[in-house]
Amino acid sequence: MGAIARTALLFAFMFGLFVVIGWAVGFFFMNDWLSGMVFFLVLAGAFNLIAYFYSSKIVLWSYKAKIVDERTSPRLYRIVQQVAFKANLPMPKVAIVPTETPNAFATGRNPKNAVVAATEGILKTLSDEELEGVLAHEMAHVKDRDILVMTIAATLAGAISFAARYLWFGSMFGGGRRDNGAGWLIIIVAITAPLAALLIQLAISRSREYKADEEGALIIGRPLSLARALEKLEAANRRKPIQQGNPASSSLWIVNPFGATGFTRIFSTHPPMAERVKRLKLMAGKMGQF
């Protein structure tokens, strides 16, 4: 199954979950299941619409990223320019994050408003070919409008969480219909629905990472350059996780900058690094590169 089909299927599951919990809110507390669904979807959508238009400014500010040009950062600007040309995309803004932890991310609601950011550490850690692979991965996110995809996922997950909280507090304070054991049903749904929505949202994020790896490798024509870069970045971020920013933004980075290990990997926004590297090496083999 392709990445697009997997993402569509995951969205279908999330929307189905939203329908169920929206029905529960409407039926038990509003006497109208449709009203419950619409109310929480609109509320979550309003929050995420604001995030969609202003998230890039918020993220750049939170990591103290500075916009640079060809004069102030010639190497990074030149490589981003080359990748944008190969990907047939507009030249994005380029930024540098002042941290020695090697990593990179892209943000912006569409290709015309994109920003590609790299840390000071990644410029010291990777060769030009490896850095080109990383930046091609980020430009693939821009090309596929993954910020929009993940905003939609966040909207649905947020609507489910809002509705679940409403269910929980309503059941705690005795509101709504609670006959015939409905109280237990409400509690079960209120606890499990947000967790399920989170897991689906994470699965969508992982699916987009695999797709960006594949498209980034195709943009530069060298899957092994990206594979080597990912291995270096994974090791470096485990040794020295980033000390600034919010873990909620970890999905933006090409590797998790907060050093997720053990049980926390279950809730990781990124797929296992070994599997990412394996897929890239298989791509290289099919292209006759060893």
138 is catalytic: yes
Phi-psi label, residue 180: left if phi above 0, alpha if psi -120 to 50, beta otherwise: left
pLDDT at 263: 47
What single letter denotes the amino acid at residue 7?
A: T
CA distance 136 to 254: 11
- Gap between the Cα atoms of 40 and 25, Å rounded: 10
What is the pLDDT, as a whole number, of residue 50? 74
Residue in 138, 209, 214, 215 annotated catalytic: 138
Task: Tell me the per-residue pLDDT of 218-232, one tens digit each, with 9 for 90 and over.
Answer: 999 999 999 999 999
Which tens digit of pLDDT belongs to each residue from 161-184? 766 776 666 666 555 554 545 556
Per the structure, how many domains does the chain have? 1
Percent of the chain at pLDDT above 90?
42
Q: Which stretch of DSSP H or E encloses residue 215?
A: helix 182-220
pLDDT in tens, 38-97: 776 676 667 667 767 777 788 889 899 999 999 999 999 999 999 999 999 999 999 999
Strands (DSSP E) contained in the chain are: 66-68, 93-97, 104-107, 115-119
pLDDT band at 140 (very low <50, low <70, confident <90, very high): very high
Asked whether residue 137 carries a pLDDT value surpassing 50, the answer given is yes
Mean pLDDT of the chain: 81
The pLDDT of residue 32: 65
**Across the strands, what pairs with 117?**
95, 105
Distance in angstroms (rounded) separating the CA atoms of residues 10 and 4: 10
User: Mapping DSSP to helix (H, G, I), strand (E, B) and coil, where does residue 106 land?
Assistant: strand
pLDDT band at residue 206 under the 50/70/90 scheme: confident
pTM metric for this prediction: 0.78
Cα distance between residue 123 and residue 223, in whole Å? 19
Confidence of residue 269 (pLDDT cuts 50, 70, 90): confident
Look up the domain containing 220 and give its range.
1-290
